[in-house]
Amino acid sequence: MQVFKSGTEWQKSWLQALKTNKTIGFVPTMGALHKGHLELIRASKKSTDLTVVSIFVNPIQFTNQEDFEKYPVLTSQDLELLQKEKVDFVFLPSQESIYPEKPILNFNFGNLERVLEGEFRPGHFSGVGIIVSKLFNIIRPNIAFFGQKDLQQVAIIKKVVQDLSFPLKLHIVPTIREKDGLALSSRNMRLSVQEREKALILYNSLEFAKNELLTNKDWLAVRKQMMLSFEAEPLAKLEYFELVHPETFQVFEEFERGKKSSICVASFIGNIRLIDNLPIIP
**Contact footprint for ligand PAF (CB under 6 A):** 28-30, 58, 61, 128, 131-132, 150, 153
The CA distance from 236 to 201, in Å, is 8
Kindly tell me which of 155 and 280 has the beta carbon lying closer to ligand PAF: 155
The CA distance from 19 to 148, in Å, is 33
Q: Is 171 a catalytic residue?
A: no
Q: Are 178 and 61 in contact (CB under 8 A)?
A: no
Strands (E), the chain: 2-4, 24-29, 50-55, 89-91, 143-147, 169-173, 236-244, 261-269, 272-280
Kindly tell me which of 163 and 218 has the beta carbon lying closer to ligand PAF: 163
Residue of 34, 37, 124, 245 marked active site: 37
Kindly tell me which of 117 and 212 has the beta carbon lying closer to ligand PAF: 117
CB of 132 to ligand PAF, least distance (A): 6
CB of 124 to ligand PAF, least distance (A): 9
Kindly tell me which of 157 and 269 has the beta carbon lying closer to ligand PAF: 157
Which of helix, strand or coil describes residue 27? strand
CB of 62 to ligand PAF, least distance (A): 10
The CA distance from 279 to 3, in Å, is 37
Q: Which helix (H) or strand (E) holds 156?
A: helix 151-163
Residue 281's contacts (CB-CB under 8 Å, 6 or more residues apart) are: none
Which of 225, 218, 227, 205 minimizes the C-alpha distance to 255? 218
Kindly tell me which of 62 and 219 has the beta carbon lying closer to ligand PAF: 62
CB of 214 to ligand PAF, least distance (A): 29
CB of 95 to ligand PAF, least distance (A): 13
Active site positions, annotated: 37
